[in-house]
């Protein structure tokens, strides 16, 4: 099999020729600091990993009067391209440059202005001032926020060029400049995780109102995906893990909203991988019952998660493809190549039986020993279905 066939066999619950092996997003920081700034495709070729290309091009919904911002900047990690209209105008103000670049983004509407402040370093970005400061702020988002749609033609150009080389991935649209694919996770980026959790107890109707607004925006994007030649799209986020929230909160405030997105994606002819970096064991069946095509990241205990990969396979391995489970913190640094290979074999023995498993680090990495990545790939290629 080629890499594309191998991935698709695993996603569809069929047996590939060998264990598919890949990684999540390849961090630019790692490429620059360790590999001389090679590109993503060269990274996969260098180590013999099954390659993935990520692409999330958007277009404006002109029927609503939306247009791509004339001051468009390169979208950040997981961000949407900036889309404006006459009632949703975006302004950018650089506050400081130094240890952390600090930027204020403002959204002007006829009834008021919303704003957020982000900081960044050469590894990542984070929120220091959330968009939603008062409960009434969600009314401005609900009335005026623009709705990015999928640029199907742009996706298909990449899919055609990528051909059989590997998997074409994307994600459900996020809020402007800083957001996440899942409804709850996107809301946490807008409100703040702790504050949103407290609101589920103090004012649950307000939380449901916000989640509904975000769900409707994401549904507009999902309906525009018909004909896009993605292999799989990401949904979810770590703030929906049981490392952060209780199973009860997940069942009331996460699953009903994201399950509807999954149903809509299937109707649009798309597969979905549900991303839960963190605790998963108490909600494995809850996630699987949402009927995603795959689940990730199966974060091990030593990485701060709670996953027993063998038990997870027994409980939900016949329902979804499992992606992840490899401890990149302890087996891409600070160990021998043989220890890395043994961890690969352990993952394969725990979750590989019958197919439906893609070996992958349990999320991103910024530092790694290149020889251990090579050992990771080599060991996986020896895990065969014969």
Residue 165 CA to chain centroid, in angstroms?
Answer: 21
Q: What's the confidence (pLDDT) of residue 122?
A: 87
High-pLDDT (> 70) share of the chain, %: 98
pLDDT in tens, 322-360: 999 999 999 999 999 999 999 999 999 999 999 999 999
At 79, is the pLDDT very low, low, confident or very high (cuts 50, 70, 90)? low
Are 110 and 144 spatial neighbours (Cβ–Cβ below 8 Å)?
A: yes
Domains and CATH numbers, the chain: 3-59+144-381 (3.20.20.210)
The band of 363, judged by pLDDT with boundaries at 50, 70 and 90, is confident
**Contact by Cβ (8 Å): 138, 209:** yes
Cα separation, 200 vs 87, whole angstroms:
30
pLDDT of residue 322: 98
> Residue 223's closest CA among 99, 63, 16?
63
Q: Are 369 and 333 spatial neighbours (Cβ–Cβ below 8 Å)?
A: yes
Distance CA 7, CA 2 (A): 9
Greater pLDDT, 28 or 372: 372
Question: pTM for this one?
Answer: 0.95
The model's pLDDT over 291-315, given as tens digits with 9 standing for 90+, comes to 999 999 999 999 999 999 999 999 9
Residue 178 makes CB contacts below 8 A (sequence gap 6+) with 76, 78, 79, 116, 118, 125, 127, 189
pLDDT greater than 70 at residue 241:
yes
Span 123-164, pLDDT tens digits: 888 999 999 999 999 999 999 999 999 999 999 999 999 988
Count other C-beta atoms under 10 Å from residue 338's C-beta.
10
Record the tokens describing residue 124, joined without a space.
């990542």
| Helix extents (H) in the chain | 3-11, 28-34, 40-47, 137-144, 152-162, 183-191, 193-202, 204-223, 247-249, 255-267, 284-289, 309-316, 328-331, 337-351, 370-381
Instruction: Band the pLDDT of 80: cuts 50, 70, 90.
Output: low
What residues are paired with 91 via a beta bridge? 106
- Measuring CA to CA, how many Å separate 212 from each of 44, 139, 159, 230, 260? 39, 12, 32, 26, 11
pLDDT(279) > 90 = yes
Q: Give the mean model confidence (pLDDT) for residues 361-366.
A: 90
């Amino acid at each position: 099999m080629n890499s594309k066939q191998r991935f698709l066999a695993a996603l569809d619950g069929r047996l590939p020729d060998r264990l598919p092996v890949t990684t999540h997003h390849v961090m630019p920081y790692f490429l620059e600091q360790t590999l001389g700034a090679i590109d993503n495709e060269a990274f996969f070729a260098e180590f013999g990993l099954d390659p993935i290309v990520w692409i999330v091009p958007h277009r404006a919904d002109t029927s609503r009067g939306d247009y791509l911002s004339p001051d468009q900047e390169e979208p950040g990690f997981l961000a949407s391209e900036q889309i404006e209209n006459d009632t949703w105008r975006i302004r950018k103000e650089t506050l400081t440059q130094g240890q952390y670049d600090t930027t204020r983004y403002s959204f002007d509407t006829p009834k008021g202005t919303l704003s957020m402040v982000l900081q960044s370093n050469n590894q990542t970005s984070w929120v220091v001032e959330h968009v939603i400061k008062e409960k009434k702020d969600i009314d401005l988002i609900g009335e005026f926020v623009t709705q990015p749609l999928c640029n199907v033609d742009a996706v298909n150009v990449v899919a055609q060029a990528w051909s059989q080389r590997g998997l074409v991935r994307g994600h459900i649209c996020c809020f402007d400049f800083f957001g996440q694919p899942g409804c709850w996770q996107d809301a946490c980026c807008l409100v703040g995780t702790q504050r949103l959790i407290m609101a589920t107890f103090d004012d649950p109707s307000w939380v449901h109102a916000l989640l509904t607004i975000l769900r409707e925006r994401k549904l507009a994007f999902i309906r525009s995906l018909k004909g896009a030649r993605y292999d799989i799209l990401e949904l979810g986020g770590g703030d929906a893990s049981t490392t952060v929230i209780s199973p009860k909160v997940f069942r009331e405030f996460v699953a009903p909203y994201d399950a509807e997105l999954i149903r809509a994606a299937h109707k649009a002819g798309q597969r979905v991988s549900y991303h839960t970096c963190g605790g998963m064991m108490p909600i494995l069946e809850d996630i699987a019952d949402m009927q995603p095509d795959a689940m990730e990241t199966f974060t091990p205990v030593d990485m701060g998660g709670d996953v027993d990969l063998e038990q997870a396979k027994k409980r939900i391995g016949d329902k979804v493809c499992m992606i992840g489970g490899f401890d990149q913190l302890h087996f891409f640094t600070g160990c021998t190549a043989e220890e890395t290979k043994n961890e690969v074999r352990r993952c394969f023995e725990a979750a590989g039986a019958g197919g439906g498993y893609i070996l992958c680090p349990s999320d991103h990495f910024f530092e790694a020993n290149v020889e251990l990545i090579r050992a990771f790939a080599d060991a996986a290629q020896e895990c065969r279905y014969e």
